[in-house]
Amino acid sequence: MQAISVGLLGLGTVGSGVVQIIENHQDKLMHQVGCPLKVKKILVKDPVKERAVKVDPSLLTVNPADVMEDPEIDVVIEVMGGIEHTREHLLDALKKKKHVVTANKDLMAVHGSELLTAAQENGCDLFFEASVAGGIPILRSLVDGLASDRITKMMGIVNGTTNFILTKMSQEGLAYEDVLKEAQRLGYAEANPASDVDGVDAARKMAIMASLGFSMKIDLEDVKSKGITSITEEDLKYGKQLGYTMKLLGIAEREGDKVEISVEPALLPSSHPLASVNNEYNAVYVYGEAVGETMFYGPGAGSLPTATAVVSDLVGVVKNMRLGVNGRSSVSPQYEKQLKDDGEIHSKYFLRLHVHDEVGVFSEITSLFSKHGVSFEKILQMPLKAKELSEIVVVTHQASLKDYQTILMELRDLRVVKDIKSSYRVEGSVSA
């Protein structure tokens, strides 16, 4: 049985996990694919650097050509990150008829269509399960497990860093800045955490999921995104008082032929399964017309969980090689992209205001909402110690995003309103 040779681009956290799994699970992998799998060459920046896994120094190279030009290497696994240089490497690999497995959601969100087209043209596989939600097999489930169903909604926690931060803030009453420092110290957040806390990482993952789940070409700029940096302890406290838990949610929803995709902090009923997904864990709810609700839960990052998804894709490539069907699994988008406008996006909203503590204030605010056909589901009103102000917290009934944004603009011009402190989407209802 001739071995399948792999070229590995990157030997960091995930790359080390890939090497470990291929070495330690060789019996299982051979049983799956009918032949040995071996890592033949590994592209690194620094061959003498200490790493989490011991490898034969002769496998290491700083020259991409040692991977791309080697005729014995059948599959290139990319776990080094980056976008433009990495894109060039993978296009080169595909043109040389090498199959590609990548864990790079940034690359796939920006250049996925181009790479998938190149794979199809060259009769190659391009698999990217590990690019979304680490060890959770969500993409394979959308493409294969739920292939016969019509997906109507995907909603989930797809960024472990922000989920860790919100969990600590909510459970321990800590400030955002303090928890971020702890997340950085523990390695859950980067020194520059902007991609995570501004919602960009989650937006890239939702673009990939929506493209596959809805069979449309969804681009990163189609995803409306908002991060967690402005969330305060007060927001979480009032949310909890009203029966909600705050999460950074990725939401992709289809109604008829139109879709909306967003990433934003949102309040969920504390009884909702996603509300109990804590720390660095990820979870995705998928709603199908036939299957109903399904939920996928597990570690969203880390060396071995992500490497498990990478090596599972490798197994898929090798099975296709043995069947002679490489390059045929990619399916072009079925539908033209049609995005909902703000008048077609409906949700409930949480709103926290500081208002002047005087007679008729609440009546004035209620009239403004009523003018736009929006009513209240929940209301809290508390006096503030300073400056003769009151705090009002409301949760609205369903309203269009267009109407709600108009209300926010008009509230800012209202004399009785001192400040709009915060505003968030609300998903689902709290049981009475």
The residues annotated as belonging to the active site are 205
396 is in an annotated binding site: no
79 touches 54 (CB < 8 A): no
128 touches 100 (CB < 8 A): no
- Within 10 A of 334 (CB to CB), how many other CB atoms are there? 8
197 touches 183 (CB < 8 A): no
Token pair in block for residue 406: 């108009």
Instruction: Tell me how far apart the alpha carbons of residues 15 and 192 are, in angstroms, rounded to a whole number.
Output: 22
300 is in an annotated binding site: no
183 touches 165 (CB < 8 A): yes
Token pair in block for residue 282: 């990820």
34 is in an annotated binding site: no
Sign of CA dihedral 288, 249, 261, 427: positive
Token pair in block for residue 306: 């992500």
- What are the CA-CA distances from residue 352 to residues 57, 141, 169, 294, 426 (Å)? 59, 39, 18, 33, 13
Tokens 């470990």, residue?
20
10 is in an annotated binding site: yes
306 is in an annotated binding site: no
Tokens 């520059």, residue?
192
DSSP 8-class letter at 48: T
Token pair in block for residue 14: 């995930």
| Helical residues (DSSP H) of 296-419, grouped into ranges | 303-323, 361-371, 401-412
15 is in an annotated binding site: yes
The one-letter amino acid at 240: K
348 is in an annotated binding site: no
14 is in an annotated binding site: yes
Instruction: Tell me how far apart the alpha carbons of residues 267 and 298 are, in angstroms, rounded to a whole number.
Output: 21
Token pair in block for residue 430: 């709290």
190 is in an annotated binding site: yes
- Angle, alpha carbons 311-314-317 (nearest 5°): 160
Instruction: Tell me how far apart the alpha carbons of residues 430 and 432 are, in angstroms, rounded to a whole number.
Output: 6
- Within 10 A of 108 (CB to CB), how many other CB atoms are there? 24
16 is in an annotated binding site: yes
Residue list for the binding site for L-homoserine: 190
Residue list for the binding site: 9-16, 105, 190
Residue list for the binding site for NADPH: 105
Residue list for the binding site for NADP(+): 9-16
